[in-house]
Amino acid sequence: MRSAWVFAFLLMLSVVTASGQATRPRIEDLARQFAYDSKAPLDVREVGRKRRDSVTIIDLTYASPRGGRVPAYLVVPDGKKPSAAILFGHWMMPGSPMKNRNEFLEEAVVMARSGAVSLLIDAPLVRPGFVLEKDEMRAAAQSSEVSRQQVIDFRRGIDLLTSRYKIGKNAIAYVGHSFDAHVGGLLSAVEKRINSFVLMAGGFADEEYVFDPDNAEMRKLRERVGDDALRAYFRKYDWDDPINLVSHSAPATVFLQFGRQDKPITEKMANRYYELFAEPKKIEFYDAGHALNAKARRDRAEWLRQRLSLKPIDYSAFERIPELK
């Protein structure tokens, strides 16, 4: 989710719900918000690399179509060229040392040993020079622009992967947590090269969440900002509310993971989000909070192994990965 206030609204507007619109915006109009020039130079610049047990981690940047550069790790199995790829998007939990591309690095290393190349990128919120707006509504608009940039930067990341490796048909997956689960919901509608999505502890209907009469935190926000200003925001940035897009997730398969102790997302709410996605889809709940747990990690790894036709996974290595904080 988003953070403090930012967690409660900024980042929460990135992972939250939509109330009663009579008609949904046209998907063609929404998808145009995430268009970019796929023929522009990637301008990849390698910063460094290191080798770990038959895996090479390449630290690099590439040009963002929205301006600036995208810091990324490319995690590559040594030897045979990979035929499957995974994109990893991190959470934005305030105070976490893992609210960056490092969140999934150890996971990506293990998946590389099973044959997948992975791309892990920093969200614009943690890139050098990002300054959060102080005014709440300007911050909300900024948040939507961040979501758009992250979607486009991941799409550009697929261009990078496919320019270097012969990725098999239906062999690109996306894993996103919290903020990047929101981003994954948007991607599921507009990026059809991705065939498998794991979306962790995300929310997929922002306006509905903000206007939920039983949500005391959001009632305070509405009193502070005003319903009219919030409604205007949701109309202007309808392309950033996943509820308007996730019904178009097919033909990709979506795997939603939620924690039963994740206070911002109740089990009822999680099941509501599940209903919004198109088939094929699955959902699992874990005895965990917003960070989820080792069981969730193992489940998504095995699901991805099957979806991407990877070699057997070294689950003992997964067990050595510290719990996310």
pLDDT in tens, 116-140: 999 999 999 999 999 999 999 999 9
**Beta-bridge mates of residue 62:** 70
Q: Assess whether pLDDT exceeds 60 at residue 248.
A: yes
Q: What percentage of residues in the chain have a pLDDT greater than 90?
A: 88
- The count of structural domains within the chain is 1
Does the residue 247 lie in any domain?
yes
Minimum mean pLDDT among 11-15, 107-111, 308-312: which range?
11-15
Does the residue 229 lie in any domain?
yes
Does the residue 68 lie in any domain?
yes
Does the residue 122 lie in any domain?
yes
Phi-psi region of 129 (alpha: psi -120 to 50; beta: other; left: phi over 0): left
Query: What is the layout of strands, in order, in the sheet containing 253-259?
Result: 45-52, 55-63, 69-77, 116-121, 84-89, 172-177, 196-200, 253-259, 281-286
Question: How many Å apart are CA 128 and CA 307, to the nearest integer?
Answer: 35
Average pLDDT over residues 216-235: 93
Does the residue 16 lie in any domain?
yes
Does the residue 324 lie in any domain?
no
Q: In which domain, by residue range, is 64 found?
A: 3-311
Average pLDDT, the chain: 92
Q: Which residue has the tokens 């109740």?
A: 266
Q: Over the stretch 137-158, which tens digit does the pLDDT of each residue have?
A: 999 999 999 999 999 999 999 9
Q: Over the stretch 67-125, which tens digit does the pLDDT of each residue have?
A: 999 999 999 999 888 999 999 999 999 999 999 999 999 999 999 999 999 999 999 99
Question: How many Å apart are CA 15 and CA 92, to the nearest integer?
Answer: 11
Asked if omega into 213 is within 30° of 0 (cis), the reply is: no
Does the residue 175 lie in any domain?
yes
Report the 3 state secondary structure along the chain: CEHHHHHHHHHHHCCCCCCCCCCCCCHHHHHHHHCCCCCCCCCCEEEEEEEECCEEEEEEEEECCCCCEEEEEEEEECCCCCCEEEEEECCCCCCCCCCCHHHHHHHHHHHHHCCEEEEEECCHHHCCCCCCCCCHHHHHHHHHHHHHHHHHHHHHHHHHHHHHCCCCCCCEEEEEECHHHHHHHHHHHHCCCCCEEEEECCCCCHHHHHCCCCCHHHHHHHHHHCHHHHHHHHHHCHHHCHHHCHHHCCCCEEEEEEECCCCCCCHHHHHHHHHHCCCCEEEEEECCCCCCCHHHHHHHHHHHHHHHCCCCCCHHHHHCCCCCC
Cβ neighbors of 247 (< 8 A, separation 6 or more) are: 189, 276, 277, 278
Single pTM value for the model: 0.93
Question: How many Å apart are CA 173 and CA 30, to the nearest integer?
Answer: 22
Does the residue 325 lie in any domain?
no
Cα angle vertex 95, ends 234, 13, to 5°? Answer: 5
Q: What is the CATH number of the domain that holds 179?
A: 3.40.50.1820
Question: How many Å apart are CA 126 and CA 92, to the nearest integer?
Answer: 9
